[in-house]
């Protein structure tokens, strides 16, 4: 259940999320947020006493949204291949329309050794949530004959997760939104047990 927050706190979270996506934890200060939100730094401290607490709040919401999104995909589709394609399709759409072209936790994982432990645990928790969901999805697909896995579902899930995040990096680095799907689609195709493979 999302935490009830004032409109100003929500605005602070929104801008913090954008700043984290574009540059990571150390790329901004409360002064940057104050300028974007048009308030004094002291007002930000009223809502979020420290940067750690602010980023932790952003990540907690992000993880909750991600878990909700994974659950919704599974509930609505109940088809491992369709679910995997929907997950990849979500990121493809975000990259193409620029709404959320990069995963916050991927950005923060680069900074992991220097992040406060409260932030590190949220980042690690996100990847654990995602890997567990993907592993269950791949296991289900393997059991029903949809997927042919070369590794255990756990390892294959982490491999797919790495492919998706690597494709995000490539699309960003080469400024080519279509590249994401060009990298991910063949990997999904290779997981299927279609007769012509």
3-state helix, strand, coil in the chain (%, to 5): 75, 0, 20
> Which domains does the chain show, CATH number per domain?
7-191 (1.10.357.10)
pLDDT for 94 equals 87
pLDDT band at 1 (very low <50, low <70, confident <90, very high): low
Instruction: Give the mean model confidence (pLDDT) for residues 159-176.
Output: 93
* Model confidence, pTM: 0.89
How wide is the angle at C-alpha 15 spanned by C-alphas 13 and 17, nearest 5°?
A: 65
Tell me the pLDDT tens digit for each residue of 152-167.
999 999 999 999 999 9
Q: How far apart are CA 184 and CA 188, in angstroms?
A: 6
pLDDT band at 101 (very low <50, low <70, confident <90, very high): low
Instruction: Give the mean model confidence (pLDDT) for residues 47-56.
Output: 95
For the chain, what is the mean pLDDT?
A: 92
Q: How far apart are CA 92 and CA 12, in angstroms?
A: 27
Q: How far apart are CA 81 and CA 191, in angstroms?
A: 9
């Amino acid at each position: 259940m999302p935490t009830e927050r004032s409109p100003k706190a929500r605005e602070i979270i929104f801008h913090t999320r954008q700043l984290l996506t574009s540059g990571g934890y150390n790329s901004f200060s409360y002064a940057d947020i104050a300028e974007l939100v048009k308030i004094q730094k002291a007002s930000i401290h009223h809502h979020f006493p420290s940067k750690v607490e602010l980023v932790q709040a952003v990540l907690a919401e992000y993880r909750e949204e991600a878990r909700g999104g994974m659950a919704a995909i599974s509930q609505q589709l109940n088809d491992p291949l369709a679910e995997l394609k929907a997950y990849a399709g979500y990121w493809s759409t975000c990259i193409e329309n620029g709404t959320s072209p990069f995963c916050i936790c991927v950005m923060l994982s680069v900074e992991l050794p220097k992040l406060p432990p409260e932030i590190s645990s949220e980042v690690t928790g996100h990847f654990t949530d995602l890997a567990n969901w993907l592993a269950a999805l791949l296991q289900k697909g393997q059991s029903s004959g949809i997927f042919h896995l070369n590794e255990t579902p756990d390892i294959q899930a982490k491999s797919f997760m790495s492919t998706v995040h690597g494709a995000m990096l490539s699309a960003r680095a080469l400024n080519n939104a279509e590249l994401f799907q060009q990298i991910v689609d063949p990997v999904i195709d290779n997981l299927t047990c279609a007769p012509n493979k």
